[in-house]
Chains A and B, each alone.
Chain A
């Protein structure tokens, strides 16, 4: 038994070291947020801030409407997750259910439409949304545009989840007299729940940090998300990096904490649950 304990401690130690290396940039964000604007550029680098500038945090909390920005980020992230999941789940299910040339074509289209970076797509979207009046509701417009970007990713992920569901379960439900939609909602979706949740969470975080569409489509400061609020510290000649890092830390930390906790349940749910 001591062998197992030794093995466990070694594995844990290696894991901690790997994580520490990986998380260093994150640590650097926190440290930088506490430095002065010039000590960021000090040689050799300061691993601990000599005189932590906590007032940077009170500054950004005081002047930058960070709560409003975060609320908008949450709104957009929820919207994107909802639209993507509703539109994407059905498609993923169909793409997993069949195996023929039309499915190949559809899968191909889904990937293809992901090709261009948002910065190259935003101009036509802006023009179209303006003339269609969608930009009267800028956050909704932004959600629609971002969802088109996150959808292919969601579909590919969920398709893998649907693939693992035994076809017989659905067929049994159909034989029992369920309609297709009934079988889909009552049998297939619950079985694919974990996969969909993982994908939805990943999409949520993408929506939470999105910049390009939000910056162009939302003209009103009051409706802009935190990713835009942060860039207000980037001015042509004056860039208050410590404030940007403090802003980023404030907005990344809660979401990261929530995710670390949630992913544990979800991925361990995957290991033990419905997928086997």
Chain B
């Protein structure tokens, strides 16, 4: 049974009285091409009396739409939600605590998930969902440019100092090439990119102003001041920044596995992926943990049916990588070869990087914490404050939010 384990099938049969009438569940998600949408379609096509209606909501509007709907009781049964936003809903009892159902389940075992995704959906010992997938960021680099600049494409930069030197060596203004492309935008994407650097510098979201974090921000600032990255890095998201890497206008790029497919198609040069460089050799590694969680709303009239879908989702974990180039959050799921040599070479790097991926929060006030971090690095990068001073201000703002 690939699609449905025997036990869930049995539970369907046992509960057949409860499912005498056909059940229609609603699910909100950011994309109809995402795994949960595809799996929901398969699940609806099964003969289980449950249909799932999927509504696509633009990512930028998802939380606002959900809040509005929740306020009026018109929220869906299931939602796919970005993991830093999860805690706000879980902590307020908007999501259903799945602990009792998970205890009964033969499919879902919360211990089977990596620590990062698991902590993003846990609140006060309750389990408020399952992870959809996981992603993280690493360093892409253009091997042809490395060769041309006399760098060894087989030993990409591993420390901050090496990273800076490489960016410097690779920058070539005459040919419109920047050393590195990344995103320092004042949005969640910017936090996603900066936080790992702060963490490698010994910081964390509730302790953002460590010397190491300030050193990281100084490094970023130098990239800007010396023209090693485009000034538009300040207002550009990761996807558009990596687009300049694919087009040959940046020699390195910091982004995640979602880039792989487009890069494999568009980049006509030899490229590779390596772990984010660390502060100094042997220093702590860190990376950001991204992607969504699936949660069931507490006011759903059919929580068992919704949970049944989550079980089905969990049972399909091995399809997440080959079909969607997303990384499964389940421990022990091998990334099956996709047939593309470069993507398959990148896969183990992201798997390793994911081990160091840390959660954003979890905290119900995450959006405001994240904003304080964004204000911090942006005011330093635009020259309004020194790095340390900017991070001190951010730390002060976060302190007020936490207390």
Contacts and interface: CB of A to CB of B under 8 A. Distances in A.
B74 interface: yes
Interface stretch (B103-111, B152-160, B235-243, B300-308): B235-243
Contacts of B69: 219
Report, as a range, how many residues of chain A touch the other chain.
Answer: 20 to 34
Contacts of B59: 234-236
B238 A237 contact: yes
Given A215-B61, A221-B56, A236-B82, A130 B243 contact: no
Nearest to B188: A236
Interface stretch (B119-127, B244-252, B374-382): B244-252
Contacts of A44: 176
B299 interface: no
Interface residues of B, number: 38
Given A36-B265, A38-B243, 19 more contacts: A37-B262, A38-B262, A41-B246, A41-B249, A42-B249, A43-B249, A123-B68, A127-B68, A130-B72, A135-B74, A215-B57, A231-B58, A232-B56, A234-B58, A235-B34, A235-B59, A237-B256, A237-B258, A237-B290
Contacts of A39: 247, 266
Given A127-B68, A127-B72, A41 B240 contact: yes
Interface of B: 30-32, 34, 54-61, 65, 68-69, 71-72, 74, 82, 135, 176, 237-240, 243-244, 246-247, 249, 256, 258-259, 262, 265-267, 290
A216 interface: yes
Contacts of A127: 68, 71-72
Contacts of B56: 221, 232
Interface in A215-267: 215-216, 219-221, 228, 231-232, 234-239
A40 interface: yes
A219 B176 CA distance: 45
Interface string A156-195: 0000000000000000000000000000000000000000
Contacts of A57: none
Nearest to B135: A237
Contacts of B267: 38
Given A37-B262, A37-B266, A236-B30, A221 B72 contact: no
A220 B72 contact: no
A238 B72 contact: no
A142 to B, nearest CB: 14
Given A215-B61, A216-B65, A231-B58, A38 B247 contact: yes
A42 B68 CA distance: 41
B258 A238 contact: yes
